Amino acid sequence: MNGKQAAGQKAIDEIKEGMTIGLGTGSTVYYFLEALAEKVADGFELTGVATSQKTIDLAKEWRIPMLPLNEVTKIDVTIDGADEVDSQLSGIKGGGGALLYEKLVAKASDRRIWIVDSSKKVEQLGTFPLPVEVVPFGWKHVEAYFTGKGYHPKLRCSADGQPYVTDAHHNILDLHLQSITNAEELANELDHLTGVVEHGLFIGMTEKVIIGYPDGHTETLER
Protein backbone atom coordinates (compact mmCIF):
# COMPACT_ATOMS: atom_id res chain seq x y z
CA MET A 1 0.00 0.00 0.00
CA ASN A 2 1.15 3.55 -0.71
CA GLY A 3 -0.56 6.95 -0.51
CA LYS A 4 -1.73 6.94 -4.13
CA GLN A 5 -3.19 3.47 -3.80
CA ALA A 6 -4.95 4.38 -0.53
CA ALA A 7 -6.56 7.48 -2.10
CA GLY A 8 -7.47 5.68 -5.34
CA GLN A 9 -9.14 2.80 -3.52
CA LYS A 10 -10.98 5.09 -1.08
CA ALA A 11 -12.60 6.99 -3.97
CA ILE A 12 -14.55 3.87 -4.94
CA ASP A 13 -16.87 4.64 -1.97
CA GLU A 14 -18.17 7.61 -4.01
CA ILE A 15 -19.44 5.41 -6.85
CA LYS A 16 -23.03 4.24 -7.09
CA GLU A 17 -24.58 1.89 -9.63
CA GLY A 18 -25.74 3.59 -12.86
CA MET A 19 -23.44 6.59 -12.53
CA THR A 20 -21.60 8.28 -15.38
CA ILE A 21 -18.09 8.87 -14.07
CA GLY A 22 -15.36 11.18 -15.36
CA LEU A 23 -12.09 9.27 -15.30
CA GLY A 24 -8.97 11.36 -14.74
CA THR A 25 -5.42 10.60 -15.75
CA GLY A 26 -2.31 9.52 -13.90
CA SER A 27 -0.74 7.05 -11.52
CA THR A 28 -3.21 7.72 -8.68
CA VAL A 29 -6.21 7.37 -11.00
CA TYR A 30 -4.69 4.03 -12.05
CA TYR A 31 -5.56 2.60 -8.61
CA PHE A 32 -9.08 4.00 -8.81
CA LEU A 33 -9.56 2.42 -12.26
CA GLU A 34 -8.26 -0.88 -10.94
CA ALA A 35 -10.87 -0.80 -8.15
CA LEU A 36 -13.58 0.30 -10.61
CA ALA A 37 -12.71 -2.58 -12.95
CA GLU A 38 -13.32 -5.02 -10.08
CA LYS A 39 -16.81 -3.56 -9.63
CA VAL A 40 -17.50 -3.87 -13.37
CA ALA A 41 -16.29 -7.48 -13.31
CA ASP A 42 -18.81 -8.10 -10.48
CA GLY A 43 -21.63 -6.87 -12.77
CA PHE A 44 -21.88 -3.27 -11.54
CA GLU A 45 -23.32 -1.01 -14.29
CA LEU A 46 -21.66 2.33 -14.97
CA THR A 47 -20.28 4.48 -17.78
CA GLY A 48 -16.86 6.11 -17.85
CA VAL A 49 -15.81 9.29 -19.67
CA ALA A 50 -12.04 9.46 -20.13
CA THR A 51 -9.76 12.50 -19.95
CA SER A 52 -6.91 11.06 -22.04
CA GLN A 53 -5.94 8.35 -24.48
CA LYS A 54 -3.92 6.70 -21.67
CA THR A 55 -7.08 6.38 -19.59
CA ILE A 56 -9.09 5.11 -22.58
CA ASP A 57 -6.46 2.41 -23.12
CA LEU A 58 -6.54 1.33 -19.47
CA ALA A 59 -10.34 1.38 -19.34
CA LYS A 60 -10.53 -0.76 -22.49
CA GLU A 61 -8.04 -3.25 -21.08
CA TRP A 62 -10.13 -3.50 -17.90
CA ARG A 63 -13.47 -3.64 -19.78
CA ILE A 64 -14.88 -0.49 -18.20
CA PRO A 65 -17.76 0.70 -20.46
CA MET A 66 -16.87 4.09 -21.95
CA LEU A 67 -18.49 6.93 -23.88
CA PRO A 68 -16.83 10.03 -25.35
CA LEU A 69 -17.63 13.39 -23.70
CA ASN A 70 -19.81 14.43 -26.68
CA GLU A 71 -22.08 11.44 -26.15
CA VAL A 72 -23.04 12.15 -22.54
CA THR A 73 -25.20 15.00 -21.27
CA LYS A 74 -24.36 14.57 -17.61
CA ILE A 75 -21.39 13.34 -15.60
CA ASP A 76 -22.30 12.53 -12.00
CA VAL A 77 -18.80 12.71 -10.59
CA THR A 78 -15.24 12.95 -11.87
CA ILE A 79 -12.36 11.32 -10.03
CA ASP A 80 -8.98 12.81 -10.95
CA GLY A 81 -5.50 13.33 -9.58
CA ALA A 82 -3.59 16.59 -9.03
CA ASP A 83 0.01 17.76 -8.81
CA GLU A 84 -0.47 20.26 -5.98
CA VAL A 85 -3.45 21.10 -3.74
CA ASP A 86 -3.68 24.02 -1.30
CA SER A 87 -5.92 24.46 1.75
CA GLN A 88 -8.63 26.17 -0.38
CA LEU A 89 -8.73 23.02 -2.56
CA SER A 90 -7.30 24.89 -5.53
CA GLY A 91 -4.60 23.08 -7.41
CA ILE A 92 -2.19 22.58 -10.24
CA LYS A 93 -2.91 19.80 -12.72
CA GLY A 94 -1.41 18.70 -16.00
CA GLY A 95 1.78 16.97 -14.91
CA GLY A 96 0.58 14.09 -17.07
CA GLY A 97 -0.22 16.42 -19.95
CA ALA A 98 -3.99 15.91 -19.91
CA LEU A 99 -5.01 19.30 -18.48
CA LEU A 100 -7.24 20.41 -21.38
CA TYR A 101 -9.41 17.30 -21.47
CA GLU A 102 -9.33 17.11 -17.67
CA LYS A 103 -10.71 20.64 -17.38
CA LEU A 104 -13.38 19.97 -20.04
CA VAL A 105 -14.57 16.84 -18.24
CA ALA A 106 -14.38 18.57 -14.85
CA LYS A 107 -16.54 21.45 -16.10
CA ALA A 108 -19.14 19.01 -17.42
CA SER A 109 -19.36 17.22 -14.05
CA ASP A 110 -21.83 17.67 -11.21
CA ARG A 111 -19.14 16.82 -8.62
CA ARG A 112 -15.36 16.62 -8.79
CA ILE A 113 -13.15 14.67 -6.42
CA TRP A 114 -9.35 14.68 -6.44
CA ILE A 115 -7.28 11.78 -5.22
CA VAL A 116 -3.71 12.58 -4.19
CA ASP A 117 -0.98 11.29 -1.95
CA SER A 118 0.12 13.44 0.97
CA SER A 119 3.15 14.84 -0.92
CA LYS A 120 0.73 16.93 -3.05
CA LYS A 121 -0.51 19.09 -0.13
CA VAL A 122 1.10 22.56 -0.23
CA GLU A 123 0.82 25.88 1.62
CA GLN A 124 1.14 27.84 -1.62
CA LEU A 125 0.83 26.68 -5.22
CA GLY A 126 3.73 27.01 -7.64
CA THR A 127 6.60 24.76 -6.64
CA PHE A 128 5.31 22.28 -9.22
CA PRO A 129 5.86 23.80 -12.69
CA LEU A 130 2.56 25.15 -14.04
CA PRO A 131 1.64 23.46 -17.36
CA VAL A 132 0.34 25.77 -20.09
CA GLU A 133 -0.99 24.11 -23.24
CA VAL A 134 -0.13 26.14 -26.35
CA VAL A 135 -0.83 25.81 -30.06
CA PRO A 136 2.29 24.72 -31.98
CA PHE A 137 1.98 27.65 -34.42
CA GLY A 138 4.16 30.47 -33.12
CA TRP A 139 4.67 28.96 -29.64
CA LYS A 140 8.07 30.64 -29.39
CA HIS A 141 6.34 34.02 -29.24
CA VAL A 142 4.23 32.88 -26.30
CA GLU A 143 7.42 31.53 -24.71
CA ALA A 144 9.12 34.92 -25.22
CA TYR A 145 6.16 36.65 -23.55
CA PHE A 146 6.45 34.34 -20.53
CA THR A 147 10.22 34.87 -20.36
CA GLY A 148 9.66 38.64 -20.39
CA LYS A 149 7.23 38.28 -17.49
CA GLY A 150 9.81 36.29 -15.49
CA TYR A 151 7.74 33.07 -15.64
CA HIS A 152 10.69 30.85 -16.68
CA PRO A 153 8.93 28.76 -19.36
CA LYS A 154 10.36 25.44 -20.52
CA LEU A 155 9.02 23.52 -23.51
CA ARG A 156 8.03 20.05 -22.28
CA CYS A 157 9.79 17.26 -24.18
CA SER A 158 9.16 13.52 -24.34
CA ALA A 159 11.78 10.89 -23.48
CA ASP A 160 13.02 10.97 -27.09
CA GLY A 161 13.83 14.69 -26.75
CA GLN A 162 11.03 15.75 -29.12
CA PRO A 163 8.41 18.30 -28.00
CA TYR A 164 5.65 16.62 -26.02
CA VAL A 165 2.38 16.52 -28.00
CA THR A 166 -0.94 16.44 -26.13
CA ASP A 167 -3.95 14.33 -27.13
CA ALA A 168 -5.35 17.50 -28.76
CA HIS A 169 -2.09 17.96 -30.76
CA HIS A 170 -0.76 20.94 -28.83
CA ASN A 171 2.52 21.52 -26.97
CA ILE A 172 3.12 22.37 -23.31
CA LEU A 173 5.19 25.16 -21.78
CA ASP A 174 5.89 24.46 -18.10
CA LEU A 175 6.22 27.68 -16.09
CA HIS A 176 8.84 27.36 -13.34
CA LEU A 177 7.36 29.96 -11.01
CA GLN A 178 8.49 28.61 -7.59
CA SER A 179 5.44 30.23 -5.96
CA ILE A 180 2.15 31.71 -7.15
CA THR A 181 1.08 34.62 -4.97
CA ASN A 182 -2.19 35.37 -6.79
CA ALA A 183 -3.53 32.31 -8.60
CA GLU A 184 -6.76 34.04 -9.75
CA GLU A 185 -4.82 36.89 -11.34
CA LEU A 186 -2.43 34.50 -13.12
CA ALA A 187 -5.31 32.29 -14.30
CA ASN A 188 -7.08 35.35 -15.68
CA GLU A 189 -3.93 36.44 -17.53
CA LEU A 190 -3.45 32.97 -19.05
CA ASP A 191 -7.15 32.70 -19.95
CA HIS A 192 -6.78 35.76 -22.17
CA LEU A 193 -3.50 35.02 -23.93
CA THR A 194 -3.70 34.26 -27.65
CA GLY A 195 -1.95 30.96 -28.39
CA VAL A 196 -2.71 29.53 -24.95
CA VAL A 197 -5.31 26.80 -25.16
CA GLU A 198 -5.55 25.99 -21.42
CA HIS A 199 -3.53 26.09 -18.22
CA GLY A 200 -3.18 23.82 -15.23
CA LEU A 201 -4.59 26.16 -12.58
CA PHE A 202 -7.82 24.58 -11.33
CA ILE A 203 -9.31 27.14 -8.95
CA GLY A 204 -12.50 26.28 -7.06
CA MET A 205 -12.98 23.27 -9.33
CA THR A 206 -13.16 20.45 -6.82
CA GLU A 207 -15.51 19.82 -3.94
CA LYS A 208 -13.54 17.08 -2.22
CA VAL A 209 -9.93 15.91 -1.98
CA ILE A 210 -9.03 12.45 -0.72
CA ILE A 211 -5.46 12.38 0.56
CA GLY A 212 -3.71 9.03 0.95
CA TYR A 213 -0.83 8.48 3.37
CA PRO A 214 2.04 5.98 3.13
CA ASP A 215 0.63 3.89 6.02
CA GLY A 216 -2.61 3.43 4.03
CA HIS A 217 -4.92 5.77 5.93
CA THR A 218 -6.79 8.58 4.16
CA GLU A 219 -7.95 12.08 5.03
CA THR A 220 -10.82 13.85 3.25
CA LEU A 221 -10.98 17.62 2.76
CA GLU A 222 -14.23 19.22 1.61
CA ARG A 223 -15.28 22.68 0.52
Provide the minimum distance between the beta carbon of 131 and ligand 5RP in the complex, in angstroms, as a whole number.
7
Taking the complex as a whole, how short is the minimal distance between the CB of residue 28 and ligand 5RP, in angstroms?
3
Contacts of 199 (CB under 8 A, 6+ apart): 94, 99, 130, 131, 132, 133, 187, 190, 191
Under 8 Å between Cβ of 221 and 11? no
Of 102, 133, 143, 198, the catalytic one is 102
| Residue 102 falls in the annotated catalytic set | yes
Judged by beta carbon, residue 141 or residue 154, the one nearer ligand 5RP is 154
Is 4 annotated as a binding-site member? no
128 vs 146, beta carbon nearer ligand 5RP? 128
Question: Annotation-wise, does 82 bind a ligand?
Answer: yes
Question: What angle do helix axes 27-41 and 3-10 make, rounded to 10 degrees?
Answer: 40
Nearer to ligand 5RP, 76 or 102 (CB): 102
CB atoms within 10 A of CB 213: 16
Q: State in angstroms the smallest separation of the CB of 206 from ligand 5RP.
A: 11
Distance CA 101, CA 4 (A): 22
Binding site for ligand 5RP (CB under 6 A): 24-28, 80-83, 93-99, 102
Answer yes or no: is 95 a known binding residue. yes
**Spatial CA neighbour of 189 closest among 132, 105, 123:** 132
Nearest approach, Cβ of 54 to ligand 5RP (angstroms)? Answer: 9
In angstroms, the CA 47 to CA 59 distance is 11
CA distance 18 to 30: 21
Closer by beta carbon to ligand 5RP, 64 or else 100: 100
Q: Is 138 annotated as a binding residue?
A: no
Residues making up the annotated binding site for substrate are 25-28, 80-83, 93-96, 120
Question: Which residues are annotated as catalytic?
Answer: 102
